[in-house]
Structure 1
Amino acid sequence: MLLEKQTRERNNEMLLKAVFDSEAKIEGLIKTKNVITEFVEKNEAYVFLGKKEDFSREVWNSFLDSFIPSMKRSYQLDILSFETPSYKLEDIIYDLYIKYDYIKADLFSHRKKESDENKVSLTIWNNANRCFAEVYEKAKLISSLVNFARDLQTTPPNICNSEWMAKKVEEKAKSFENVEVKVLDKKAIEKHGMNLLLSVNKGSMFEPRVVVLSYNGDSSSKERTSLIGKGITFDSGGYSLKPAKSMVGMKYDMSGAAIVSAVVFALSALGVKRNVSAVLAITDNRVNGDANLPDSVWKSMNGKSVEINNTDAEGRLVMVDAMTYAIRELKSTDLIDVATLTGAIVVALGNTYTGVWSTNDSKWEKLEKASKVAGEKIWRMPIDAEFAKGIKKSSVADLRNVDYSGLGGSNSAMMFLNEFNEGVDHIHIDIAGTANVGDSCTGVMVKTLVEYLK
């Protein structure tokens, strides 16, 4: 199926129009929401969308989710018929392109592809006498980078190891001339004292990598936002081994790193006047004869010591060394981390909302507004010293990496990260429930973070 660019001409395909409850006076129309009624003799079809005042991005996306994969014939969209006072044409067209590219993305697969002999097309009939070229170009850019992240997410761990992923991101960066790339190998990571990251990597047959992407969009400013991405290419749990069922899908544990790289590339392409970096901490978490042991104590790049009481809480370890690098080496004034960090957030928010913690109220409010524009659901979680008590009970180190009380696990994880932000404004985004839903990877938060930072 092909989504063709807009045309001002009426073609020979069946014309698909929106019809709302107040307008539904067409004889033979099926008044069931999102259902299409075709009038073959007129070469016209109508989709019933309910009340006009209720038509929104959510309703539109719901229709497209069923419509695009099930198309058996070509249509031309009477796009003007979908516009309402509260949902403008520019947004409708933008969301259509984003959704189409999301559904039809060509992601990693070794499955034999079926031949598509009966190709159908969807054409936008731009009968509004307005130009939407800029909308189209932006949608194609954002969707291509969401799908870049999704392609990395879906690549299996026997291919997507730390060294491979670092090369893929480095290669992608070459497409953006104003993005600087620095890749730290194991020796460089050791030189920086990133011992928590190295401790997680001890069980791996591949070297760790830290990929640093920098976009300098405002030379007059000393402010820099750094995005920290968790890049665990596979998480077995280490010696705190996951059950077999829980290990399936752990290839998605590198989602944060994929997502933040896509955000920096998008901001660069859009020419945003802001200085933004991404620090990707990449390794896997495996078991071998030298793997990290529970009860081990390691000194972080920050200088704080950490007792390992659960090797399956490895994400926070690699993240805090990356945070310290961003603060001390990149002079970051603002931190946003993105990680598939805790199972506890999935219990709390399921696959529907992404959990967010923010040390700054106004930045949370701005992020919440951005998420609504992007059509991604987020929920603010609490920051409270009570959640830090369990991680401060070590008798041999400054911190433990896990609070074994079993209470507020995602909040105590944030408090662990909070110990390393050095007073810099910090937003923590836990995408454990939303990075993938079953076998479907989402590239979640790319759109929201681009909207927030643009």
Structure 2
Amino acid sequence: MIKFIEKATNSNFVLEAVFKNENLDKNIIAKKFVITEFISDKKAVIFLGDKSEFSVNDLDELSTQLSSLNRTFEVNLDSFVTENVSLSVIASRILEKNKFLNAKIYNVKTNKKEEEKELFVFTKNLKEIEKELKNTEIIVESVNFARNLQATPPNICNSEWMAEEVKKQVSQFSNLKVTVLDKKEIEKLNMGLLLSVNKGSMYEPRLVVIEYNGNPDSKEKTVFVGKGITFDSGGYNIKTGRSMLGMKYDMSGAAIVASALNAIGQLNPKANVAAVLSITDNRVNGDANLPDAVWTSMNGKTVEINNTDAEGRLVLADGMTYAIRKLNATNVITVATLTGAILVALGTTYTGAFSTSDKLWSNIEQAAKSQNELVWRLPLHDDFSKFIKKSTVADLKNTDLTGNGGSISAAMFLKEFAEDKNFAHLDIAGTAETGEKPMGVMVKTLVQLALNEK
């Protein structure tokens, strides 16, 4: 684990950065990110290449290296500073990576874990960066809250349990208003789409609403709407074989928007922000949702179900209407593991983004860049909504069965429920987890979006 101190204690190995063309010891391995140890002197150096080329983009690899050392080190942070990379940025990235890699994420393995190595980081300018470090810690701990929810197995993390866990966490902060709506309250709101997905479940649906009002003089309000499918069997359009594995992560959108509010409640930005979590599982029983069924959404539009495995957009649609009509959202941002198609387009590298507003997209892009998260904008075009508007019995079908542009047609379905508000959608199906590891992606971006408001 990492600890920040003001000066070396000389009781551990001291690690410093060295760059090309400096007076290097002949025994130093001049290969980027490789550490050379001098045992007799209790000293080590890490080679970082050309000093003029060392950039923020190098910090992820560097931070990983420093958080995975095989002994306890004391790192001279000041030796890493260059004209291109400031002390506060370096310190924040190292802290973030260390907290991320060493997070206590759900795990019930019975084998004993190896002893953790401590990482001491010292700088003579510690007081100058203390506030930045505190903010970074708040954000990364919120990321880890999302990751822990993501990792929790679905036999534990059902809709009722998840709602209570979120409430318990965010209720710690008096400036966050938390409301949990049960099935009867959801029925009173006529949220037919959320209820239709829940029909196959033994657990009640939940709508969790978290509100933060940091600028009461402004009418601007951004609401994050998160997909909270705690397990997705596909319903009667059931998933087959390995396709059902990893479906505990289908609640990632809800976990992420809740975690963003968890950080926002501590950082107190001058912004009005809320989160709406639409939570249920998508199971199969004798009364589960059926293909060809028709349901009425909270905003009155009717939807014909042509694929029960396209349930995420249904619960999001009702969540969006709640955000607009009950919370007076001016900007609505949906976050969801929505489509497998986004993996074909962007792999596990980029989060897919869609927006009806160039300004809202620009704000998201800027926030993501600041927090070192990768987003890629894809188009919203009426050509991709032609099929979903061809139902002979309802206003919309829930899936475009042409097989073309699946992520875009899903976003176009959501756009049908945006009314006249600025709308953006983040498809995290490829980035929410990688290699069975929960990533808590986009928490940092959503928090930064709120922090950037003036």
Cα separation, partners in 2 of 1:41 and 1:432, compared to 1, 3 Å: same
Q: Corresponding residue for 1:313?
A: 310
SS at structure 1 position matched to 2:210: strand
Match of 1:85 among 74, 83, 86: 83
> Once superposed, which parts of structure 1, at least 4 consecutive aligned residues long, lie more than 4 Å away?
none
- Residues 7 and 123 of structure 1 are in contact (CA less than 8 Å); yes or no, is this contact kept in structure 2? no
Q: Which residue of 2 aligns with 1:383?
A: 380
Identity %: 51
Matched ranges for 1:330-341 at <5 A: 330-341=327-338
> Do the aligned residues in 2 keep the contact of 1:57 with 1:95 (CA within 8 Å)?
no
Mapped pair 1:43 → 2:42: yes
Per-residue CA deviation, residues 288-309 of structure 1 (Å, 9 max, x unaligned), is: 1110000001111111100000
Give matches, 1:368-447, under 5 Å.
368-447=365-444
TM-fit CA distance, 1:131: 2.7
Report the equivalent of 2:15. Answer: 16
Whole-Å separation in 1 of the counterparts to 2:126 and 2:337: 45
**What is the aligned counterpart of 2:135 among 122, 125, 138?**
138
- Indicate the residue corresponding to 1:107 in structure 2: 105
Change beyond 3 A, Cα 1:351–1:11: same
* 1:4 Cα offset (Å): 1.3
**How far is the alpha carbon of 1:219 from its aligned partner?**
1.4
* Paired residues of 2:8 and 2:122 also in contact (CA < 8 A): yes
Alignment of 1:28-39 (within 5 A): 28-39=27-38
Q: Judge conservation of contact 1:57–1:375 (CA < 8 Å) in 2.
A: no
1:82 counterpart letter in structure 2: F
Distance 1:300-1:119 versus aligned 2 partners, 3 A rule: closer
Shift of 1:115: 4.9
Which of 265, 270, 278 is 1:268 aligned to?
Answer: 265
Aligned partner of residue 21 in structure 2, secondary structure: helix
User: Which amino acid in 2 is paired with 1:323?
Assistant: M
Say if 2:18 and 2:24, in contact at 8 Å, map to a contact too. Answer: no
2:254 to 232, 243, 257: 257
Structure 1: distance between partners of 2:6 and 2:106:
32
Residue pair 1:78, 1:127 contacting (<8 A) in 2 also:
no
Alpha-carbon distance in structure 2 between the residues aligned to 1:115 and 1:432: 31
Q: 1:81 to 1:344 in 2, by over 3 A?
A: same
* Contact 1:170 1:181 survives alignment (8 Å): yes
1:357 is paired with a residue whose SS is strand
1:176, distance to aligned residue in structure 2 (A): 0.9
Which stretch has the larger CA shift, 5-14 or 419-428?
5-14
Code of the aligned partner of 1:97 = L
Describe the shift of the 1:122–1:303 C-alpha distance in structure 2 as closer, same or farther (beyond 3 A): same
Aligned-partner Cα distance in 1 for 2:271–2:126:
35
Greater mean deviation of Cα atoms: 78-87 or 156-165: 78-87
Please state how far the C-alpha of 1:393 moved relative to its aligned partner.
1.1
Q: CA deviation at 1:113?
A: 4.7
Deviation at 1:174, TM superposition (A): 1.8
RMSD: 1.3
Residue 171 (1) aligns with residue 173 (2): no
2:67·2:94 contact (CA, 8 Å) conserved in 1? no
Q: Distance in 2 between matches of 1:375 and 1:284?
A: 32
Are 1:126 and 2:84 matched, yes or no?
no
Quick one: distance in 1 between partners of 2:428 and 2:299? 25
Distance 1:330 1:384 in 2: 28
Q: Deviations over 1:368-388 (max 9, x none)?
A: 121111011110000111111
> C-alpha offsets along residues 23-44 of structure 1, whole Å, 9 cap, x if unaligned?
2632111111111011112221
Deviations 1:180-205 (A, max 9, x none): 01111000111000000000000000
Residues 368-424 of structure 1 show CA distances to partners (whole Å, capped at 9, x for unaligned) of 121111011110000111111111111111100000110000000010000000010
- 1:22 CA displacement: 3.1
How far 1:208 sits from its partner (Å)?
A: 0.2
**Correspondent of 2:348 among 347, 351, 360:** 351
User: Which digits, 9 at most, give the CA deviation of each residue in 1:46-90, with x for residues without a partner?
Assistant: 111222233233322113324423x22111111011111111110
DSSP-derived class of the 1:21 partner:
coil
Q: Distance in 1 between matches of 2:129 and 2:433?
A: 32
Write the letter of the residue equivalent to 2:98. Y
C-alpha distance in structure 2 between counterparts of 1:395 and 1:56, whole Å? 57
**Structure-1 residue corresponding to 2:212:** 215
User: After superposition, what is the alpha-carbon deviation per residue over 1:1-20, rounded to whole angstroms, capped at 9, x for unaligned?
Assistant: x2112223443211111112
Matches within 5 A, 1:186-201: 186-201=183-198
- How far the C-alpha of 1:119 sits from its partner, in A, is 4.5
**How far off is 1:319 after superposition?**
0.1
Per the alignment, residue 55 of structure 1 pairs with 54
Correspondence 1:7 to 2:6: yes
Q: Per the alignment, do residues 17 and 9 of structure 1 end up closer, same or farther by CA in structure 2, a change over 3 Å counting?
A: closer
Q: For residue 239 of structure 2, what is the amino acid of its counterpart?
A: K
Partner AA of 2:341 in structure 1: A
User: Matched residue of 1:427: which SS?
Assistant: strand
Q: Say if 1:55 and 1:348 are closer, same or farther in 2 by CA, change over 3 A.
A: same
The residue aligned with 1:76 is 74
Q: Is contact 1:10-1:125 (8 Å) kept?
A: no
Q: Secondary structure at the match of 1:22?
A: coil
Q: How many residues are treated as equivalent by the alignment? A: 451
Shift of 1:438: 1.8
Q: Take 1:315 and 1:164, find their aligned partners in 2: how far apart are those partners? A: 19
What TM-score do you get using the length of structure 2 for normalisation?
0.97
User: What is the rounded CA distance, in whole Å, between the counterparts of 1:310 and 1:244 in structure 2?
Assistant: 18
In the alignment, the residues of structure 1 paired with residue 49 and residue 349 of structure 2 have an alpha-carbon distance, to the nearest angstrom, of 24
2:135 counterpart SS class:
helix
Q: Distance in 1 between matches of 2:287 and 2:214?
A: 43
Task: Label 1:115 to 1:103 Cα distance change in 2 as closer, same or farther (>3 A).
Answer: closer
Give the residue type in structure 2 aligned to 1:58: N
Q: Is the 8 A contact 1:217 1:268 kept in 2?
A: no
